Amino acid sequence: MSYISLFYDILILATFLIYYITPKKYRYVILSIGSIVFYIHICTHPVQIAVFASSIVFAYLFGLLISRCVKLGADKEKSSRKYALQSKLFLAIGIVLAGMPLYFIRFTGTLGMLDDYNFIVPLGISFYTLQIISYLVDIYRGVAKVIINPVKFILYMSFFPQIIQGPIPRYSQLADQLFEGHDFDEKEALKGLQLILWGYFLKLMIADKAGVVVDNIFGHYTMYSGGYIFHAGLLYSIQLYADFMACVCISQGVARLFGIRLADNFNRPYFAETVQEFWRRWHMSLSGWLRDYVYIPLGGNRKGKFRKYLNTIITFLVSGIWHGGDVRYIVWGLMHGIYIVFGSLTSGLRDKITRIIMGKKDDSDEFTTLTGRLFRRACTFIFVMIAWIIFRADTLQIGIGMLYRMFTTFSPFVYFDSGIYNLGLDEKQTHILVFSIIMLFVVSYYQEKHRTEDIIMDKLLKQPRIMRWGLYIVAIIAIWVFGTYGYGYNASDFIYGGF
């Protein structure tokens, strides 16, 4: 139970009403209370609250200590070295203590003992741990101010729209927005509601519907030929994106109701023409975090090519571990690291091949032919999809088995007989899914063309009320009737909520 639940809707409504009737300077308190209520409600065991609280307490205390050392080191030149060492030590200890629950969970996951300790894992642990680390490091680096007010600190760490699945916030981007009270902005609120509606659409009309087929094939892959496994990989790629994007939209939408803009987490990743570009578009808050707190501290690309490639591999290894302790996540992370390294090593050769096959380079050095771009996007998508199959499979062995099957027994004719209607979704449901995916593509294409997420929302708000209302009502009815939820499903579980 999380963002798709009646409790959450009531919480938003209550917090929204109380927020705007509270004096501005205390509005952050309301958000804080709402966040605490939300988190307590979603915890399934009291230990989870204790684990979360302990991380926050450590982060708060060590944030104060690091800040004090940084300040004293700057004021007292003579003892600056001492304070620099102290701040480093406090940073290290703070990262270890605040992040201990995550490290422990990953460790048990690697040993296959996660099930025994699952009950203590608070939701969003992977996300808020990275947030804590970035907060402490930014204080150490002097780019973030320490939060002294404990209520504000709790709010920053637990802001309910983004605690479970991000985006992973940065102090500089989020803090001030949270603490300053906002006046009600009707336009922003309407956009927020539109985002929430779009999030529900993505979740219930695409992600959960595709999930029915994905679960079936991944659960019984030995019964299916390569064509079906390809189909499952394709659908999983869409499911994961739609599911994650849904959560982001709902989070952003809710935040906008309070006048707060959360960072974007996706930039139409399947439009990427290389894997490297994919990671500039997919889960941007995570890839940004990895860049700033892993890749660059390791040296980035400043220590020669070999170190650059090694740092890339290590960074993606960390990404894999972040997603889960199981070896398949590590392999998935390494695959992407290898993709990027290989892509970098062969970029010249690939450009030549693409030019030969698809068309000539023009003077601006961009592949402007449509087929060229589509070809590169398709190739990138295939590579990413292959890695997603490993990511989604129950074990690494199963993932490899599925890939082997996909390549050795592939047949495209699964799309021409009625076999795909027997995978959990009948013909009508499949058509609904396809239509919904097309809708997503159309919206994404339009956003990509205008290079802005808000283009459609802005255009919509300019339409006459009757047309807007009609569209909202039709969308709500479509989700109400055709969405995948309710009896036999558990739509409230977002995929990335398990991280």
Partner 1 sequence: MKKVIIRWIKIAIFMIILIFILMRINTILEPTYDYHNSEWPGTSTFKEFYKLEPDSVDVLFLGASVVTNGIAPQVIYDEYGIRSYNLSSEQQSLFVSYYWLKEALRTQSPKVVVLDTLFLEPLHEDEPFNMTEGMLRIAIDPMKMSSVKREAVKEICKIDESQSELSYYFTNIRFHDRWEQLTSSDFSEGIMYLAPLKGYYGLTSKGPDEYECYVQGNTEIRDELPELMVEYLWKIKELCDENNIELVLMTIPGEFMYDSVYNSMMDEINEMGVGYYNFTLQENYDKLECELPWESPIYHANIWGAEKLSSYMGKVLSEDYGIEGISDSQWDNSEKFYQEFMQVRNTIRIKKSDKYLQAINELPINDVTICFASDGKLLDDLEESDRVSAAETVIDAFADLGFDSEELMQNGTEMVAVFSDKGKNITMSDEGQIETDDLIGIWDEDLYAWATNESKGKISIAINSVEYVPNNADFCMIIYDNNTQRVVDIAEMYYDDNSKSLKISHTEPPAE
Query: Of 71 and 182, which has the nearer Cβ to partner 1?
Result: 182
Q: Which one-letter amino acid corresponds to residue 412? A: P
Query: Of 119 and 469, which has the nearer Cβ to partner 1?
Result: 469
Three-state SS at 447: helix
Closest CA to 16 of 42, 34, 4, 2: 34
Contact between 481 and partner 1 per CB under 8 A: yes
Residues present in the chain in total: 499
| Other CB atoms within 10 A of residue 48 CB | 20
Q: Residue 139 in contact with residue 172, Cβ under 8 Å? A: no
- From 428, 445, 458, 467, residue interacting with partner 1 (rule: CB under 8 A): 428
The interface region with partner 1, picked from 50-58, 169-177, 332-340, 477-485 by CB under 8 A, is: 477-485
Contact between 117 and partner 1 per CB under 8 A: no
User: Whole-number minimum distance, CB 469 to partner 1, in Å?
Assistant: 6
> How far is 36 from 28, CA to CA, in rounded Å?
12
User: Whole-number minimum distance, CB 117 to partner 1, in Å?
Assistant: 24
How many chain residues touch partner 1 (CB under 8 A)? 17
- Tokens representing 324 are 């889960």
Query: Of 76 and 428, which has the nearer Cβ to partner 1?
Result: 428
- From 176, 366, 426, 458, residue interacting with partner 1 (rule: CB under 8 A): 426
DSSP 271-300: G-SSHHHHHHHSSHHHHHHHIIIIITTTTT
Place of tokens 């003892």: 79
Interface with partner 1 in residues 332-371 (CB under 8 A): none
For 304: left if phi > 0, alpha if psi spans -120 to 50, otherwise beta; the answer is: left
> How far is 86 from 346, CA to CA, in rounded Å?
45
Contact between 13 and partner 1 per CB under 8 A: no
> How far is 217 from 21, CA to CA, in rounded Å?
51
Query: Of 226 and 253, which has the nearer Cβ to partner 1?
Result: 253
The interface region with partner 1, picked from 22-30, 64-72, 226-234, 425-433 by CB under 8 A, is: 425-433
Contact between 463 and partner 1 per CB under 8 A: no
Contact between 1 and partner 1 per CB under 8 A: no
The widest CA-to-CA distance across the chain, in whole angstroms, is 79
Q: Residue 136 in contact with residue 63, Cβ under 8 Å? A: yes
Contact between 6 and partner 1 per CB under 8 A: yes
Contact between 24 and partner 1 per CB under 8 A: no
Query: Of 187 and 305, which has the nearer Cβ to partner 1?
Result: 187
Contact between 466 and partner 1 per CB under 8 A: no
Q: Is the peptide bond before 167 cis (omega within 30 degrees of 0)?
A: yes
Place of tokens 């995550």: 102
User: Whole-number minimum distance, CB 183 to partner 1, in Å?
Assistant: 12
Distance of CA 120 to the CA centre of its chain: 23
Query: Of 178 and 432, which has the nearer Cβ to partner 1?
Result: 432
Contact between 115 and partner 1 per CB under 8 A: no
Query: Of 165 and 430, which has the nearer Cβ to partner 1?
Result: 430
Distance of CA 368 to the CA centre of its chain: 30
Contact between 186 and partner 1 per CB under 8 A: yes
User: Whole-number minimum distance, CB 130 to partner 1, in Å?
Assistant: 34
DSSP 8-state assignment for residue 367: -
Alpha-helical segments (H) within 359-412: 370-392, 396-408
Query: Of 413 and 487, which has the nearer Cβ to partner 1?
Result: 487
User: Whole-number minimum distance, CB 428 to partner 1, in Å?
Assistant: 5
Closest CA to 126 of 94, 177, 168: 168
Query: Of 23 and 486, which has the nearer Cβ to partner 1?
Result: 486
Query: Of 345 and 473, which has the nearer Cβ to partner 1?
Result: 473
SS3 content of the chain, % helix, strand, coil (to 5): 75, 0, 25
The interface region with partner 1, picked from 166-174, 240-248, 256-264, 478-486 by CB under 8 A, is: 478-486
Contact between 486 and partner 1 per CB under 8 A: yes
- From 41, 68, 482, 493, residue interacting with partner 1 (rule: CB under 8 A): 482
> How far is 258 from 183, CA to CA, in rounded Å?
8
The interface region with partner 1, picked from 64-72, 220-228, 311-319, 422-430 by CB under 8 A, is: 422-430
- From 198, 381, 485, 496, residue interacting with partner 1 (rule: CB under 8 A): 485
Contact between 192 and partner 1 per CB under 8 A: no
Contact between 487 and partner 1 per CB under 8 A: yes
> How far is 426 from 471, CA to CA, in rounded Å?
27
The interface region with partner 1, picked from 99-107, 151-159, 441-449, 473-481 by CB under 8 A, is: 473-481
Q: Residue 249 in contact with residue 229, Cβ under 8 Å? A: no
Site of interaction with partner 1 (CB under 8 A): 6, 186, 426, 428-429, 469, 472-473, 476-477, 480-483, 485-487
